[in-house]
Amino acid sequence: MASLRIVLAGTLACAVAACGTAPTPSAGSGAAVPVAAAGAASAATLRHQAAVARAYDLQPGAEAEDARRGFIAAPTGQIRAADGRVVWDFDAFAFEKGEAPPTVNPSLWRQALLNNSVGLFKVTEGIWQVRGFDLANLTLIEGRTGWIVVDTLTTRETAAAAMAFARQHLGARPVSAVVFTHSHVDHFGGALGVISAEEAKARQVPVVAPAGFMEEATSENLLVGTAMGRRAAYMYGNLLPRNAQGAIDTGLGKAVALGRIGILAPTVLVDKPTQALVLDGVRFVFHNAPGSEAPAEMVFSIPEKKAFGAAELVSHTLHNLYTLRGAKVRDALAWAGYIDDAIGQLDGAEVVFGQHHWPVWGHGRIVKYLESQRDAYRYMHDQTVRGINAGLTAPEIAETMRLPRSLDAQLSLHGYYGTVKHNVRAIYQYYMGWFDANPANLDPLPPVEGARKYVQLAGGADAAVRVAQQAYDQGDYRWSAELLKHVVLADGNHRAARELQAKAFEQLGYQAESAPWRNFYLSGALELRNGPPTRGLTRNALVDMLQHTPTERFLDAMAGGLNGPRAEDVTLRINLRLSDTNESHGLWIDNAVLHHRRGALEGPVDATLTMTKPFFLRLMIGEAGAMELLSSDQTKIDGSVLALRRFFGLIDRAPGNFPIVTR
């Protein structure tokens, strides 16, 4: 009966929930691997940090002034959910003061200090931002009758707290419009904390978004979101302690809030390349930029305020052409083109503000800022293409690629979030795919089988560990980690290999300028010592958003969970009817594939399952299981209960807590 319990193969992976505590794995002798404390920075890491400090001017300078400009007030304490759980802690990063500790790349430490400017800030006359309440910023624009809110953070709790804090200092004006700049959850998930759906409908508050927003916002990562969510926990360092040996930043902001996620359906779509709208007496000129940082994204100017809203087209970091949590690769050439377009769309702007980080003031500085961002993406694109045509592989191009000195000297182009190395690989993948044309890589052994053969070649696990220890002692942490990858895959219970690889990961994390790289390395070390989480992601907090997801997307996710080998030679036909929305969908299994189409199947079916849309959502997120399906007054089964049970029994449940480095 438990097989009837379905869990979606997806969630919006940026909004990862707490993944649970990690178990203690077995060691080679059967004893528990001790949970080692994080180590100190090694001599090689100290030399690396000192070299970074010498190579760049890391004094805060103008950017620190910009990050604090217009400061009004800062919050303290915590934001809690209704059940008392902490959603956001304003004091979690209070330790970030003064010089960089040895365990943090000094360039990343500088970015972390800048991102730690938290509070309410005045951008220009009539425009304010609330920063540091979540990963992204909430922007308030004064309209004739109320607040025009641009982006609404990740969660209802943080958005409500941000609005309450702003009203405390600026006045209790109503929300007169909502603008979503793009389809990532940290920019819309808190919508219901800004204004309820009922109030927005009753007062006919315009909700503006780019074309394709709703489909992208509700469906992104749905098919493979279980894996993305697990990886996102690494990328954002969810399980790491907040200290100088753990998570210090994400590069874009301090962290991702972990609360309740919702959405408001747009009432106005920006579906033209350029489109002017008047919202509560303020004239906006919107420009669509689809397929840049998000599949649906737009920027805008407010000519009367000489302001330009850059969304996430530009930030004070090199951004991702490929995000390490996993996603479709972004088009570097198109992205550079949109930034070039933005230079011509400024409408005389004297301030550019983004939905992360801090603004840039002064028209000349703005143009230089946009030009350098444009040129960074274009340089990576063009030089990767040059390398491809010279016959180089992605790792070869990535290893030698450096931004030119004129760009590298600008810290706002450093890889605090994206990096040159993994962006180069993304560009290669965008054009050439996974295969590097070497026949040896056409059908390689799977990782564990290959690892066992490499370990055997090395003379056994202990011999490989000895070589890895020599590499570690010489400060060659990349090679040490590479060798130990094979040992850990071949023998996950080898205590010495796990601990040494954890130490190598630690030093690589301490040296990393990219916050996601640091978080990945340190999360890998944590898993090696403590094991993977005991449970995967929960999706209860997503119900407010998922109710807007088309049913077809859930059925696609269900098809992605079909156990093909067990479904071989199975033929089943099921009609699904959602009684309160008057939807019908036909589902059938044939050739070990789950098909679906809107409308009931004609002819005989094995069973017809009728339920309400709310119950269907509960079933999809795993809140409802077999007993409720069979007994609830919100469901009705016509036909064979046995066939229905068999049908759902073929859908695998992905727990979402799979090991990443310790399989």
Could you read off the pLDDT of 531-573 as tens digits, one per residue? Answer: 998 877 766 777 778 888 889 988 998 999 999 999 999 999 9
Least confident stretch, 145-149, 229-233, 507-511: 229-233
Give the CA count within 13 Å in the CB-facing half-sphere of 174: 12
Boundaries of domain holding 608: 550-649
Question: Is there a contact between 207 and 180 (Cβ–Cβ < 8 Å)?
Answer: yes
pLDDT of residue 224: 83
In a domain, residue 384? The reply is: yes
Q: Give the CATH number of the domain where residue 582 resides.
A: 3.30.1050.10
Instruction: Find the radius of gyration of the CA atoms of the chain.
Output: 26
**Whether the predicted pLDDT of 173 surpasses 50:** yes
Q: Answer with the residue of higher pLDDT: 12 or 113.
A: 113
Say whether both 205 and 312 belong to one domain: yes
Least confident stretch, 45-49, 255-259, 369-373, 511-515: 255-259
pLDDT of residue 192: 96
Say whether both 507 and 601 belong to one domain: no
pLDDT-based confidence at residue 419 (cuts at 50, 70, 90): very high
Q: 452-488: buried (b, 16+ CB within 10 Å) or exposed (e) per residue?
A: bebbeebeebeebbeebbebbeebbbeebbebbbbbb
404, 428, 452 - which closes a domain = 428
Nearest-angstrom CA–CA distance, 66 and 114: 9
List CB contacts of 562: < 8 A, sequence separation 6 or more.
589, 592, 593, 594, 650, 651, 652
Say whether both 203 and 77 belong to one domain: yes
pLDDT-based confidence at residue 36 (cuts at 50, 70, 90): low
Q: Give the pLDDT mean for 175-179.
A: 98
pLDDT of residue 49: 98
Taken as a whole, the chain contains a residue count of 663
**Whether the predicted pLDDT of 28 surpasses 80:** no
In a domain, residue 78? The reply is: yes
Least confident stretch, 3-12, 106-115, 124-133, 226-235: 3-12
Least confident stretch, 91-105, 224-238, 345-359, 600-614: 224-238
Tell me the average pLDDT of the chain: 92
Say whether both 387 and 523 belong to one domain: no
pLDDT of residue 9: 37
Tokens at 457, concatenated: 């070649």
In a domain, residue 447? The reply is: yes
Say whether both 313 and 445 belong to one domain: no
Say whether both 560 and 482 belong to one domain: no
Q: Answer with the residue of higher pLDDT: 521 or 62.
A: 521
Q: Give the pLDDT mean for 57-69.
A: 93
384, 401, 428 - which closes a domain = 428
Q: What order do you get walking across the sheet with 635-639 strand by strand? A: 593-598, 583-590, 572-578, 607-611, 635-639
pLDDT-based confidence at residue 221 (cuts at 50, 70, 90): low
pLDDT of residue 27: 31
Q: Give the pLDDT mean for 631-657.
A: 89
Q: Give the pLDDT mean for 461-468.
A: 98
Question: Is there a contact between 263 and 217 (Cβ–Cβ < 8 Å)?
Answer: yes
pTM of the predicted protein model = 0.92
Say whether both 101 and 152 belong to one domain: yes
Q: Give the pLDDT mean for 55-66.
A: 93
Percent of the chain scoring above 70 in pLDDT: 94
Q: Give the CATH number of the domain where residue 302 resides.
A: 3.60.15.30
Nearest-angstrom CA–CA distance, 127 and 140: 6
Nearest-angstrom CA–CA distance, 339 and 331: 13
Q: For the chain, how many structural domains are there in total?
A: 3
Least confident stretch, 220-229, 589-598, 649-658: 220-229
pLDDT of residue 622: 78
In a domain, residue 7? The reply is: no
CA distances from 557 to 294, 397, 407, 594 (A): 21, 36, 43, 10
pLDDT of residue 1: 34
Helix residue ranges per DSSP H, 191-312: 191-194, 197-202, 213-219, 225-235
In a domain, residue 635? The reply is: yes
pLDDT of residue 60: 82
Say whether both 298 and 213 belong to one domain: yes
Of the chain, the end-to-end C-alpha distance in Å amounts to 29
pLDDT of residue 25: 34
389, 406, 428 - which closes a domain = 428
66-92 per-position pLDDT tens digit? 999 999 999 999 999 999 999 999 999
Say whether both 221 and 365 belong to one domain: yes
Say whether both 66 and 126 belong to one domain: yes
263-278 per-position pLDDT tens digit? 999 999 999 999 999 9
The amino acid at residue 547 is Q
Nearest-angstrom CA–CA distance, 353 and 137: 10
Say whether both 418 and 445 belong to one domain: no
Q: Give the pLDDT mean for 230-255.
A: 96
In a domain, residue 1? The reply is: no
Q: 342-364: buried (b, 16+ CB within 10 Å) or exposed (e) per residue?
A: beebbeebbbbbbbbbbbbbeee
Least confident stretch, 323-332, 398-407, 469-478: 323-332
Q: Give the CATH number of the domain where residue 506 resides.
A: 1.25.40.880
pLDDT of residue 205: 98
In a domain, residue 375? The reply is: yes
pLDDT of residue 6: 35
CA distances from 631 to 352, 401, 613, 623 (A): 57, 61, 16, 15
pLDDT of residue 538: 67
**Whether the predicted pLDDT of 3 surpasses 70:** no
**Whether the predicted pLDDT of 139 surpasses 70:** yes
pLDDT of residue 92: 96
In a domain, residue 18? The reply is: no
Say whether both 373 and 463 belong to one domain: no
Tokens at 663, concatenated: 């399989």
